[in-house]
Structure 1
Amino acid sequence: MGVDGRAVTVTALTHRGAVRQANEDAVVLGALTVAGADMDAPARCDLPLTGPVVIAVADGLGGHAAGEIASEHAVHRMAESNHQLNGPEDVDTLLRHIDDEIKEHALQHSEFSGMGTTVAGMLLTPDGSFWFNVGDSRTYRLEGSRMRQLSQDDSPALPPSEDGKPVTTNFITQSLGGSGSTAMTPHVGADPEPGPGAWLMCSDGLSDLVSLEEMEHILSESTGDDAAVHTLWKAAMEAGGRDNISILLLRRH
């Protein structure tokens, strides 16, 4: 706990899924990062909220080596800058710098051409809570038994499916790095509810395979955060687990 009693609890799991040979996802929890891991159970991290704390998931794009390097670079840079991120303007600037750095690395190493990563997360400060994303990884705010998406998907709108299952696409309109010719513009905003709260961040390995309604049911029925994160991961695996799966359940006390 922080000296003023304020703290952040994060329950995290990142896994390669049932099909991929490696995990190109990475996560950042304040000054801590996890990249390329294959966790078999959720891990809990308690962080004092005496200063800025950034919590985010990054989903690498562009093939195993390139995607893994891009997502790991993104979370390492966020961890390095954690205590300097005092608000949305700082997050916007950092994400633009990361975008430039990944593109420059790809220019210098032709085998990594097109490498990129999505990112979605929260910046918590003693005075506020701010969400951010680029790509189709997501951040949801938990509101009782319901979830409200804060992040904005950088993917084309698709018509609803006839069977009621989630409609997904592998195409995204922007990422950190990547092969897009247009300038990258991060989505950054203030959470509308000040004070304590709970949020879920995930890569599309979860949200593409598990419907919002099923996620809400799992969260409302679980006996604790460890059980909730594990059950969400299990639901994605049972739905095919065709992509890497990363889940962060964050509570601000």
Structure 2
Amino acid sequence: MGALTVAGADMNAPARCLLPLADPVVLAVADGLGGHAAGEIASEHAVHRMAESGPQLNGPDAVDLLLKHIDEEIKEHAGQHAEFSGMGTTVAGMLLMAEGNYWFNVGDSRTYRLQDTRLVQLSEDDSPALPPSEDGKPVTTNFITQSLGGSGSTAMVPHVGQDPEPGPGAWLMCSDGLSDLVAVEDMERIIAEADSDETAVHNLWQAAMDGSGRDNISILLVRRG
């Protein structure tokens, strides 16, 4: 199966894709940094590289190595083009294999496991600790401690782990354009009340737009049967 990527999706009509699991399948969202043009190039490069490499990924160590290669490639491109200095992207996703499911992320894009009606965050935010909210709304920051590419001087260390639930399951991947603006409890309610996954994705996007929609909103709802 060839690589499949979606850019500039219309959230009024979310795309539905069915993928066979004959080979490992990698699914991810990316959120570009460093200005619109530079961020778009970085995020598109990251998802294309992951999509084309998916069938060859044989476990968490391979994911870790691929993310480090992508980091180097983005930094190399930025070094060759002054206008793209500091370009980078966050990423969050899942690697689905016959023997297990693995999550990964860099930055503040997130992966949640949908457990019954609850969303359990698997990914680890690369952002500073923030004080608890006093009004119940999500506490957010625009600062992240690492990304793929970017201007950081320290080595990028991906977060990669195994989902404790093997086999069938469901996961939500999103950029901070959703998680910064919509509380987890509201995301859980929206998914539970939706009559289809397409409706759930649209309603999650609408909730973020109603919350100001001030950032890129990327959403991927995945089910493994």
Shorter-chain TM-score: what band? over 0.9
Q: Give per-residue Cα distances to partners, 1:124-176, cap 9 Å, x unaligned.
A: 01221100000000000001111100000000010022211111000000000
Q: CA RMSD in A?
A: 1.2
Counterpart of 1:98? 70
CA contact (8 A) 1:166 1:210 kept: yes
- 2:204 is the alignment partner of 1:241: no
Deviation at 1:38, TM superposition (A): 4.3
1:44-63 equivalence runs, <5 A:
44-63=16-35
Counterpart of 1:22? none
Percent identity reads 80
Counterpart of 1:12? none
CA contact (8 A) 1:30 1:54 kept: no
- Quick one: which amino acid aligns to residue 224 of structure 1? S
Aligned-partner SS, 1:71 = helix
1:112-131 equivalence runs, <5 A:
112-131=84-103
| C-alpha separation in 1, matches of 2:44 and 2:111 | 19
CA contact (8 A) 1:30 1:55 kept: no
- Tell me which stretches of 4 or more aligned residues in structure 1 moved more than 6 Å: none
Query: 79, 99, 107: which is aligned to 1:135?
Result: 107
Counterpart of 2:50? 78
Counterpart of 1:150? 122
Query: 132, 147, 169: which is aligned to 2:141?
Result: 169
| C-alpha separation in 2, matches of 1:54 and 1:96 | 16
CA contact (8 A) 2:111 2:121 kept: yes
Deviation at 1:121, TM superposition (A): 0.1
What TM-score results when the alignment is normalised by the length of structure 2? Answer: 0.97
- Quick one: which amino acid aligns to residue 249 of structure 1? L
CA contact (8 A) 2:11 2:202 kept: no
Cα distance change on mapping 1:82 and 1:30 into 2, 3 Å = farther
Aligned-partner SS, 2:45 = helix
Counterpart of 1:24? none
- Quick one: which amino acid aligns to residue 206 of structure 2? K
- 2:40 is the alignment partner of 1:68: yes
What TM-score results when the alignment is normalised by the length of structure 1? Answer: 0.87
Give the number of the structure with larger relative contact order, counting CA–CA contacts within 8 Å between residues 6 or more apart.
1
User: Could you list the runs of 5+ residues in structure 2 that have no partner in the other structure?
Assistant: none
CA contact (8 A) 2:11 2:201 kept: no
Counterpart of 2:4? 32
| C-alpha separation in 2, matches of 1:66 and 1:177 | 11
1:4-15 equivalence runs, <5 A:
none
| C-alpha separation in 1, matches of 2:2 and 2:16 | 13
| C-alpha separation in 1, matches of 2:159 and 2:217 | 22
Query: 83, 92, 108: which is aligned to 2:80?
Result: 108
Counterpart of 1:184? 156
Query: How many matched pairs?
Result: 225
| C-alpha separation in 1, matches of 2:81 and 2:45 | 15
Q: Which stretch shifts more, 169-178 or 158-167?
A: 158-167
Counterpart of 1:16? none
Counterpart of 1:211? 183
CA contact (8 A) 2:104 2:160 kept: yes
Q: Give per-residue Cα distances to partners, 1:193-240, cap 9 Å, x unaligned.
A: 111000000000000000001001111111121111111011001111
